[in-house]
Amino acid sequence: MKSSAWIEKSDKYIMRTYGRFPLVPVRGEGCYLWDADGKKYLDFLAGVAVNNLGHCHPAVTAALAKQAGELIHCSNYYQIPQQIELAELLCGLSFADKAFFCNSGAEANEAAIKLARKYSREKYGTDRFEIITALASFHGRTMATVSATGQEKVQKFFDPLLHGFRHVPFNDAASLAAAVSPCTCAVMLEPIQGEGGVVVPDAGYLQAVREICNEHNLILIFDEVQVGMGRTGKMFAHEHFGITPDIMTLAKALAGGAPIGAMLATDELAGAFTPGTHGSTFGGNPLVCAAGIATVRAIMEEGILNRTCEMGEYLVGEFEALQQKFPAIKEVRGIGLMIGVELNIAGADIVKKALERGLLLNCAQEKVLRFVPPLIVGKKEADEMLKIFTGILEEL
Ligand SMILES: *Cc1c(COP(=O)(O)O)cnc(C)c1O
């Protein structure tokens, strides 16, 4: 079926929660996608930082195919070897001692919120439940994570929100310290804001936050749903800042595109989740965890982190050179392959023109082009992207 026929059917049957582009991808390989009409696209969005290993990485595809033939799902009433192995890998790579698996970033954050509240109420009493989060943050679309998110556009229409969240400006440790009260139980932050427009905090901010948490016995939760799994050139973004949280959430890139979420915590905190206190039917099932194991191993064994640092530096350098030439570019920022190019003009038109020319881009917060390509991107694909992007800037 042609793309146009799919789009017509979509209008009839699919709820309009997304402003979808008229693109119908049907096949992917590495950094490229092909649509239903056979047109090829260079993918610099990567499913919003999900396809870190590119489309259909052979190791992930093979792991899914093998596992699909052995056991797809069984209940969390039983032991799941793939889940255990993935938890061991993630704990070995991080500060964490234990993992809980679910199916998305929002659910991972829900689990973190519930764990923080349960731990705090048992240790300090029922008055201690409030969680401080940042303005312009994004933590998901469930009611609790919408309440945690510091953006009105995500929250409006859904009142009453969940009680117990307080929002402070990001990258401002003094405001955060001033917001702490006897009710506060935790601080939840993205180490680098993604949807907020690729906002990298100043050196020292997250360290100051860690100190505030230590001083008041607050739980520090890092939402690494977007920036984890190698995106910034380290396995987890907080490694750049020389501190560790008490809880970390992961999702997007964790299983190479298979739907998964994970909430990792220290033993001290994890102890608050006793049998029957939280759960998920699909969470950490054999199929997605097999994909997760293959993904984590590929990131570690295929030199992905070094490559991400190198390509990130290359792209930031090239974008800065473009900034000298084109007044439309206001600022270039990012770490690894989490790059934001802030414009002086709206970005939607550039995204549309790029799509027409076979390049997939994304715009966050109206004026920030977010470049989150697969981490396997090479100089050839980067130059192809730069050529198209430069062409669009020249025509503005
Ligand atoms: C995407 C994202 C989420 C939500 O993840 P879903 O899988 O869509 O629920 C949460 N936090 C951050 C930082 C994200 O980028």
Q: What does each C-alpha distance from 236 to 32, 249, 300 come to in angstroms?
A: 26, 10, 12
**Which CATH number characterizes residue 351's domain?**
3.90.1150.10
Same domain, 142 and 80: yes
Instruction: Give pLDDT, residue 393.
Output: 98
What pLDDT does residue 357 have? 98
Residues 64 and 165 in one domain: yes
* Structure confidence at residue 395 (pLDDT): 95
pLDDT digits (tens, 9 = 90+) for 250-282: 999 999 999 999 999 999 999 999 999 999 999
Distance 133 CA to ligand 1 centre (A): 15
- Give the structural domain span for 232: 60-301
Whether ligand 1 lies within 6 angstroms of the CB of 190 is answered as: yes
Q: What is the pLDDT of residues 85-124, one digit of tens each?
A: 999 999 999 999 999 999 999 999 999 999 999 999 999 9
342 in the same domain as 267: no
Same domain, 180 and 84: yes
Q: Are residues 378 and 280 in the same domain?
A: no
Q: Sorting pLDDT into bands at 50, 70 and 90, what band is 304?
A: very high
Judge if 240 and 335 occupy the same domain.
no
Under the banding of pLDDT at 50, 70 and 90, the label for residue 377 is very high
Mean pLDDT of the chain: 97
280 and 342 fall within a common domain: no
Residue bearing the CA closest to ligand 1, atom 11: 139
Residues 141 and 154 in one domain: yes
**pLDDT band for position 159 (50/70/90)?**
very high
Ligand 1: does its nearest atom lie under 6 Å from the Cβ of 307?
A: no
Q: Are residues 292 and 313 both part of a single domain?
A: no
What pLDDT does residue 205 have? 98
Mutate to test the pocket of ligand 1, among 18, 170, 221, 225 (most ligand atoms within 8 A of CB): 225
Rounded (10°) angle between helices 348-356 and 379-395: 120
- In whole angstroms, give the CA distance from residue 198 to residue 335: 9
Q: Two tokens at 120?
A: 């705090």
- Atom from ligand 1 closest to the CA of residue 107: 9
* Pocket lining: 140 vs ligand 1, CB cutoff 6 Å: yes
Point out the domain boundary residue: 249, 275, 301.
301
Q: Strands across the sheet with 359-360, in order?
A: 25-29, 32-35, 40-43, 359-360
From ligand 1's centre to the CA of 104, what distance in Å?
7
Same domain, 112 and 141: yes
Which atom, in ligand 1's list, is nearest to the CA of 103? Answer: 7
93 and 195 in a single domain? The answer is yes
In the prediction, which pLDDT does 299 show? 98
Residue 225 in contact with ligand 1 by CB distance below 6 A: yes
Choose one of 277, 301, 325: the last residue of a domain: 301
In this prediction, what percent of the chain has a pLDDT beyond 70? 100
Tally Cβ neighbours within 10 Å of residue 185: 24
The residue from 301, 318, 352 where one domain ends is 301
Domains in the chain: how many in total?
2
Looking at the structure, tell me whether residues 288 and 373 fall in a common domain.
no
